[in-house]
Amino acid sequence: MPALINPSILSADFANLERDLHAISTADYAHVDVMDNHFVPNLTLGLPVFERLVQVSPVPVDGHLMIADPDRWAPAYAEAGAASVTFHAEAAQAPVRLARELRRLGARAGLALRPATPVEPFLDLLGEVDMILVMTVEPGFGGQSFIDGTLPKIRRVRRAVSEAGLDVHVQVDGGVSRETIERAAEAGANVFVAGSAVYGAESVPAEIAVLRDMASA
Ligand code: DX5
Ligand code: ZN
């Protein structure tokens, strides 16, 4: 399975987001983290900025909503033109209804799980989503270390997807770098979010290529 590399602009220069989106034009998606200071203890950007990022991005936008009440707020991110909208299982009241709404609006629907959230309650609903995001750090900040304890969950998600014969992506987000990407890929992830590893690299395009190679090997 080809590995997708989605750099997170959380590690970009927030005064130069358009420039830094163009720096990742060889990536598969641009990962845009929306944080509301309620679901996570950090605040990034909201819908008006997100809409403009979608308009100027050279690659499709993968929105990661770390917000309370996604049932109310997430559809607008699909309407804004995000290729993919991922909301948190812990925050959603009606995840199936929301996933269906996002798909109806033309976005891929993603369901995110914090490191300590089990996937088992959601396994029967895999057919309702396009992606499961297994958080490999506690959401909220870039630059944290990859939690190896999430690897068994990545494996269980991948096994369930294969057994069901579904084309559901398994994304990992947090602490993904040259040091950790092979472990995540071996466990079954095929979409890799990397913020500090990509934007902190000497050459951003070279780092994207290296990570893609390492994850595809
Ligand atoms: C964290 C965000 C991530 C973050 C990852 O809550 O969801 O997308 O940017 O940053 P790194 O790759 O630096 O761990
Ligand atoms: Zn993210």
Q: What is the pLDDT of residue 11?
A: 98
Below-70 pLDDT ranges, the chain: none
For residue 27, the enclosing domain spans: 4-216
124 is catalytic: no
Q: Is 142 in the pocket of ligand 1 (CB under 6 A)?
A: yes
> What is this structure's pTM?
0.98
**What pLDDT is attached to residue 169?**
98
What gap in Å lies between CA 150 and CA 144, rounded to an integer? 14
CATH code for the domain in which residue 76 is found:
3.20.20.70
Closest CA to 32 of 6, 13, 58: 6
Catalytic entry in 20, 28, 36, 173: 173
Whole-number pLDDT of residue 59: 98
Burial of 129 (0-12, 13-18, 19+ CB in 10 A): buried
pLDDT (0 to 100) of residue 217: 78
Task: Take atom 6 of ligand 1 and give the residue whose Cα is closest.
Answer: 139
Domain count, the chain: 1
**Is any ligand 1 atom within 6 A of the Cβ of residue 139?**
yes
What pLDDT sits at residue 1?
74
